[in-house]
Structure 1
Amino acid sequence: MLKQFFILCSGSDVSILQHCSNGEQNKYAGIGATVFFTAVMAFIAGSYALYTVFDNLLTAIFFGLVWGLLIFNLDRFIVSTIKKRSRKRDELIQASPRIILAVIIAIVISKPLELKIFEKEINHVLLEQKNDMSLSNQAQIAQQYTPNITKLENNITHLENQIATKEAKVNALYATYISEAEGTSGTMKLGKGPVYKEKREKHDAALAELQQLKTDNNAKIAEAETQITALKAAYEAHVSSTQPIINGFDGLMARVNALDQLPWLPSFFIFLLFLAIETSPIFAKLLSPKGEYDFKLEDAETAVKTWVEQKVNERKLLLNTDMALNNRIYDDIAKEDDLYAYKRKKARELMQLQADAFFKHQKKAL
């Protein structure tokens, strides 16, 4: 049962092969088994590749099955269309486009399996790329908020400097009127005289201005700090909203690019393995001598070809004979006087009818 299934997978003519030797049947069963298991590997590879795209197991299995059947049909077609020829050169020319197609299929099948085999290494490369992308994303987003934050911080610094300058001025006025009262400077007279009162008034006026300045500037500073807090919150929200996009950067194309950054030799050997599997049925047929099945198949095909050519030639001869007979018959009829007189009479009648119709038409036009 299994042998018959693999023979069916090889694309050979079962009705011819069942009358061949066991060795011939085993050869084509081996070819069919290679075709079948290549399709199985294609199904696995296609399902994994599509799972990285859709993130849905059932969808990936369905489309992977379609992909596996497509590869199975292509491989079966490639193997079944290779015929044994009398010269190896003709066989090689015949197989060349099929070998190219097999190479393409091997590349398509091997790539998803390479992604699965080197999954841990690819995840490490993707992690480094995601970290770099996160830092770059944060820097780009910061460019949208940093100028405004810096401007507000500079404004706060300016307001604080105004308060500090005013405080220094008030402190200086305080020291002046105190030293005047103590007689250590100014008029050098001890006591609270007119000069002391004048300096005290200046200090009190500056102190009132300082209190008003603190009230106004502190309100402005509080407002600026509120704006800075809002901008920082907006920055964090923007980073948080864009981070899932970076975290999801592990699709099929990203993994293929990450695989390209790994050493190429292991991937190349995996590709060679699948190339050998994919092309082995073709080379098996090319290298094997012309067997019993090939002779019987050629006999069946040439029999049909000869029969078709015979039928075509018979139809050509029949057509040529019929044309020759028709020419002779019509030549003989053309020489009969009765036929000539009858056709002359009918031609005369036809011309009379045409003349009458033309006369009636012209009469109506007048």
Structure 2
Amino acid sequence: MLKQFFWMCSGADTDILQQSSKSEQTKFAGIGGTVFFTAVMAFIAASYALYTVFDNYFTAIFFGLVWGLLIFNLDRFIVSTIKKQDNKWKEVLQATPRIILAIIIAVVISKPLEMKIFEKEINQVLLEQKNDLTLANKAQIANQFTPEITTIQTEIEQLKQEIATKETETNALYNTYITEAEGTAGTKLLGKGPVYKEKRDKHDAALAELQQLKLDNKAKITEKESQIASLTILQKEQETTTQPIIDGFDGLMARINALNELPWLPSFFIFLLFLAIETSPIFSKLIAPKGEYDYKLNDIENAVKSWVTQKENQRANVLKTDTTLNEAIYNDLAEEDELYNYKKQKAREILQFQADAFYKSQKKIIG
């Protein structure tokens, strides 16, 4: 039962194999087994690849099964269409397009399995890429908010500088009226005279301005610090909103690119393994000598070809004979007086009918 199933997988004629030798049966069972297990590997590879895309087991298995059946049908078609011939170069030329197709299939099958085999290494590469993307994302978002925040911070520093400048001015006025009272500067008269009073009034006015300036600038500084806090919160919210996009950066294309970052030699040998599996049925048929099955199949095909050729020749001869007979018959009829007189009479009736019809139509027109 299993052997017959593998015969079916090889695309061979099971009726011919039933009547062939054991070696022929074993050879085609091996070819069919290779085709079948290649389709199984294609199903596994496609299911894993599609799971990384859809993140759903049922969807991945369904489309993986469809892909496996497609690969099975293609492989079966490729193997079954390679016919053994007497000329090896003709066989190679016949198999070349099928070998190219087998290489493409091997690439498609091997790549998802490579991603599964090197999953841990790929995850490490993706983690590094995600970290780089996170830093780059934060830098880009910061570039959107940093100019405005810097401008506001500069305005805050200016407000603080106004207060410091006013404090310096007020302290200078304080020292002026104190030294005037002590007699160490100004008029150098000890005591609180008119000059002292004038300088004290300037200091008191400056002190009042300083206190008012502190109140006003403090309110402005508080408002601007609130703006900075709001911008900082908005920046953090934007970082939080965009971070899930970076965290989800592990799709099929991202994993393929991450796989390409790894050393190429292990992946290349895995590809060679699947290439060998995929092309082994083709090369086995090319290398193997022409066997019993091939001779029997060739005999059946030649018999059908001969029968079809005979039928085509027979139909051509029948047509040729019929044409010759028709020409002879019509030539004989052309020489008969009875047929000539009959056709002449009918032609005269047609001309009379046309003349009468023309006369009637003209009469109606003239009125």
Q: Decide: shared fold, TM above 0.5.
A: yes
- CA shift at 1:300, angstroms? 1.0
Q: Which runs of 5+ in 2 are unaligned?
A: none
> What residue is the counterpart of 2:158 in the other structure?
158
The residue correspondences of 1:330-345 to structure 2 (distance < 5 A) are 330-345=330-345
2-side partners of 1:198 and 1:118: how far apart? 88
Query: 2-side partners of 1:65 and 1:207: how far apart?
Result: 87
Specify the alignment match of 2:66 in structure 1. Answer: 66
Q: 1:184 — aligned with what?
A: 184
CA deviation vs aligned residue, 1:51-75 (integer Å, no higher than 9, x gap): 1111111111111110000000000
Q: Hey, what does 2:16 align to over in structure 1?
A: 16
Partner of 2:118: 118
Q: How far off is 1:148 after superposition?
A: 0.4
Deviation digits for residues 277-320 of structure 1, max 9, x if unmatched? 00000011111111111111111111111111111111111111
* Matched pairs, number: 366
Look up the match of 2:307: 307
Q: How does 1:1-366 map to 2 (within 5 A)?
A: 1-366=1-366
- 244-253 or 224-233, which deviates more: 244-253
**Quick one: distance in 1 between partners of 2:192 and 2:200?**
10
Q: Aligned equivalents of 2:309 and 2:363: distance in 1?
A: 66
1:116, CA displacement in angstroms?
1.0
Distance 1:359 1:108 in 2: 84
Question: Alpha-carbon deviations, 1:323-355, whole Å to 9, x = none?
Answer: 111111111111111111111000000001011
> Given residue 34 of structure 1, which amino acid in structure 2 is its aligned partner?
T
Take 1:332 and 1:187, find their aligned partners in 2: how far apart are those partners?
161
TM-score, normalised with respect to structure 1 = 0.98
CA RMSD in angstroms comes to 1.0
Ranges of 4+ aligned residues in structure 1 off by more than 4 Å: none
> TM-score, normalised on structure 2?
0.98
**Structure 1 CA distance for aligned equivalents of residues 158 and 365 of structure 2:** 110
1:336 partner amino acid: E
1:189 partner SS: coil
Q: Give distance in 1, aligned partners of 2:297 and 2:365.
A: 79
AA of the residue aligned to 1:274: F
Fraction of identical pairs, as percent: 71
Structure 1 residue identity aligned to 2:364: K
